[in-house]
Structure 1
Amino acid sequence: MATMDPYRLTSGVESTDPATTDVTRNDVVRTVLWLVLVISTVGNMVASYGTASTAIHLACGVVTALCVTALVTRHLRGRR
């Protein structure tokens, strides 16, 4: 008697449709934006705890603001 594995992540039927298995350009861009956002936020936090100059704080802040703006813009355009 066959039993279903409750820890299996797939439904048992593998899809061969390339449209559903490929990673799109939008997925890559969104992932890179999130990665840069996290890195710039952590960099700003490290600069705050250390004795970094104001230029480093401003650079991290500008990168963070640009990433947030790009992510919000992409999200709002994707809803249309």
Structure 2
Amino acid sequence: MSDDTDDRGGMLRPVLWLLLIVSAAANATASAAGANVLAGIGFGLVTLACAATLVVHHYRHRRQ
């Protein structure tokens, strides 16, 4: 792998973790506040997508 690929991958993970935390908190807040169900579903889908992307990124870039 080149250094450029490592640099870009190095920035992706912190952004995904930040989005995961923010969307999970927004999902919990929307659910607790009794907000529109579609807002909760949207935040939940973003949370799920971030988690899945982090798992895929981990398995593709792990060292063997």
Tell me which interval the TM-score lies in, with the shorter structure as reference length.
0.7 to 0.9
Q: Which of the numbers 26, 37, 46 marks the counterpart of 1:43?
A: 26
Higher relative helix content: 2
* Partner in structure 2 of residue 7 of structure 1: none
Alignment TM-score, normalising by the size of structure 2: 0.83
* Amino acid across the alignment from 1:49: A
Q: Which of the numbers 20, 29, 39 marks the counterpart of 1:56?
A: 39
- Which protein shows a greater Rg? 1
Q: How many residues align?
A: 59
Structure 1 consecutive aligned stretches of length 4 or more whose deviation exceeds 6 Å: none
In the alignment, structure 2 segments of 5+ residues that lack a partner are none
> How large is the Cα RMSD of the aligned pairs?
1.6
* Partner in structure 2 of residue 78 of structure 1: 61
Alignment TM-score, normalising by the size of structure 1: 0.68
Structure 1 residue matching 2:35: 3-state secondary structure: coil
* Partner in structure 2 of residue 27 of structure 1: 10
Percentage of identical aligned residues: 36
What is the deviation of 1:27? 1.3
